[in-house]
Structure 1
């Protein structure tokens, strides 16, 4: 098959910064190429119109059209023309796009168009309990209604999205994936009593719960250390330009002394920090299906994470990790301390986590599931 992915981000030096959406597309694209398909990536919001090929994947950079009041519409038309040209030239057969902000609401390709739910703006605003822009909700709903098919990375995201948009469409569940071959837990020595959080410092990921949780950890285990990795972000609720500044006063004096915030580090170095950590923690309130959890699991790390919605589709509580509500600070801390002091439990959870990552979230597994889905529309 000849599959194209339309996206506002993609992890490559030529295309700029990318988050979880771009990483999930990159992993799936590699998986599809590995099982014999041709893959094109159409990246809009670029500074230039360029085409390049790397590792068997052809990337089309698309510069947005800048005309006041008409930029979105004209860029959509530009993308539509490109898709239809590639289809006419037999370079693509089907296009997949994300749900975020409903970019495809008024894009009408001549080939099938499917949408993968990684979490729309409406979805995340709902989980954050804040209002969504009416324009975004309208575009996202229209895009989903227009799509030939819909995939969701989790059952939870599918159900919430259906309710929010009153959708009647059938939604197929296919999770995010990682390249398992890139995640090997080598003989690097684990730093005892170390707790790692990696991800953006932002309220919706539980960043403001972390200090209150760690305060409870320190009361029982004064040797515990908290390592934070990720870019700082502003906080819409308080108006603060820095979530890290909001976090610091929440730590007790003893706890703050044992916190090491390393800021944003290159993605290539994240595995090093995961491998060294004793436990990884994710007290998040809003996700679709987090790749960061899967990466930690692939490196055999025991996890204590949020028990909200999507969580039990990734972690089997008590088998390959612990699930606790982020607001239950004492209970969350108790589970962290239980893992910190019990090496056998660390090993048991880590081995089970790796097995889950291999069986459910390896890119080859997810690529084959996606292949079956695409064939329905060709």
Structure 2
């Protein structure tokens, strides 16, 4: 069997952009190759046209193209022609694409299409209670309706997407994202920077960064030695039109808290893992995710995580056993949970060990790759 992934991001030096979607695709691609499944990745909206190899994975970089009118339509037709030619040439049996932006809308592909629900614009608009552009909704619905089946990283994401777009329930299967666990080992979980709190993610409203500032103001009153480290791209704020969300977040920090905050921006992935290893507590007070890769990465590194309590997060951890689940708007309780962990090293160690066990059970990419393969085969046999 050979699987083709259609994506706008993938972790590779020659690819323009890579974030959570790209990381999850690469984790799966590498695991599939180990199981002797061929993998081709089509990365669109790139700076160049090229075909490169990343281990045993074939990557097709497809450059952006502009037209005098209806660029979105003509570019999709170009992608369709290109992908179909490679499907024939490389013998691709099944294709997978994300729901975000509905890139496969209007495409007629020569292999069955599965759409993985990484999180559509409509999904995030619903969670954030904001209005979606009709064009975006139309593209995403068209793409989803043309797919043969769907994969959801959490049951919550599948249910919410089904309700938004009116999808058939029996066509959605929940298969969690996975990690290459050997890359997330922590041989010395007892060694970390005391009182350090780590946030990883885009600095954007939907990730709960405004609430995090308020939470940290309360933590610093309870633990004067606490430190907050933020890692991730700054983003414009959709409500205020401010170009930098971090500038708005900065204004919320108290004068005392501000002296204990370090914003590192975007840093190399290997450095991110070192920061996870060195963190005392990891925090993810998000309002909108489908799963949250950084949450399970932190759990794999045996870190106590204070996560959001919204839908998807309830499938990642058990409150009080392998992490804490708190609604981001409950800033008092969120601060209390962080402070409790900062003041109890034994509790941190126990939660971290349990978190690792949870990840090994649910998010081992080798196990989850087998589930993906079985699902792909079931689609090809129907």
Q: Normalising TM by the smaller chain, what interval?
A: over 0.9
- Which residue does 1:220 correspond to in 2? 222
- Which residue does 1:267 correspond to in 2? 269
2:16–2:47 Cα contact (<8 Å) kept? no
1:64–1:71 Cα contact (<8 Å) kept? no
How is 1:158-177 mapped onto 2 (pairs within 5 angstroms)?
158-169=158-169, 170-177=171-178
1:42–1:61 Cα contact (<8 Å) kept? yes
Q: For residues 67 and 16 of structure 2, what CA distance do their matches in structure 1 show?
A: 23
Partner residue of 1:276 out of 255, 275, 278 = 278
SS in 2 for 1:377: helix
Q: In the TM superposition, what is the alpha-carbon distance from 1:81 to its structure 2 partner?
A: 1.7
Give the alignment's TM-score, normalised by structure 2: 0.96
How is 1:4-83 mapped onto 2 (pairs within 5 angstroms)?
4-83=4-83
Q: In the TM superposition, what is the alpha-carbon distance from 1:366 to its structure 2 partner?
A: 1.6
Q: In the TM superposition, what is the alpha-carbon distance from 1:315 to its structure 2 partner?
A: 1.2
Q: In the TM superposition, what is the alpha-carbon distance from 1:68 to its structure 2 partner?
A: 2.7
Q: Which string of whole-angstrom CA distances, capped at 9 and with x for unpartnered residues, describes residues 46-89 of structure 1?
A: 12221111210000111233103222222222222223222323
- Which residue does 2:128 correspond to in 1? 128
Q: Which string of whole-angstrom CA distances, capped at 9 and with x for unpartnered residues, describes residues 311-362 of structure 1?
A: 1111111110000010111100000011111111101110111111122112
Q: Which moved more, 1:231-240 or 1:277-286?
A: 231-240
- Which residue does 1:148 correspond to in 2? 148
- Which residue does 1:324 correspond to in 2? 326
Q: In the TM superposition, what is the alpha-carbon distance from 1:90 to its structure 2 partner?
A: 4.5
Aligned length: 378
Q: For residues 232 and 59 of structure 1, what CA distance do their matches in structure 2 show?
A: 29
Q: Does 1:339 align with 2:344?
A: no
Q: Which moved more, 1:115-124 or 1:103-112?
A: 103-112
- Provide structure 1 residue ranges, at least 5 long, that are not aligned to the other structure: none
1:87–1:110 Cα contact (<8 Å) kept? yes
- Which residue does 2:84 correspond to in 1? 84
Q: Which moved more, 1:75-84 or 1:337-346?
A: 75-84
Q: In the TM superposition, what is the alpha-carbon distance from 1:186 to its structure 2 partner?
A: 3.4
Q: For residues 94 and 165 of structure 1, what CA distance do their matches in structure 2 show?
A: 23
Give the alignment's TM-score, normalised by structure 1: 0.97
Where does structure 1 differ by over 4 angstroms across 4 or more consecutive aligned residues?
A: none
2:117–2:157 Cα contact (<8 Å) kept? yes
- Which residue does 1:357 correspond to in 2? 359
How is 1:301-320 mapped onto 2 (pairs within 5 angstroms)?
301-320=303-322
Q: In the TM superposition, what is the alpha-carbon distance from 1:271 to its structure 2 partner?
A: 0.9
Q: For residues 90 and 270 of structure 1, what CA distance do their matches in structure 2 show?
A: 36
Q: Which moved more, 1:317-326 or 1:221-230?
A: 221-230
| RMSD across aligned positions (CA) | 1.2
Q: For residues 126 and 178 of structure 2, what CA distance do their matches in structure 1 show?
A: 25
- Which residue does 1:186 correspond to in 2? 187
Q: For residues 236 and 218 of structure 2, what CA distance do their matches in structure 1 show?
A: 26
- Provide structure 2 residue ranges, at least 5 long, that are not aligned to the other structure: none
Q: In the TM superposition, what is the alpha-carbon distance from 1:249 to its structure 2 partner?
A: 1.8
Q: In the TM superposition, what is the alpha-carbon distance from 1:365 to its structure 2 partner?
A: 1.5
Partner residue of 1:207 out of 199, 206, 209 = 209
Q: For residues 327 and 89 of structure 1, what CA distance do their matches in structure 2 show?
A: 52
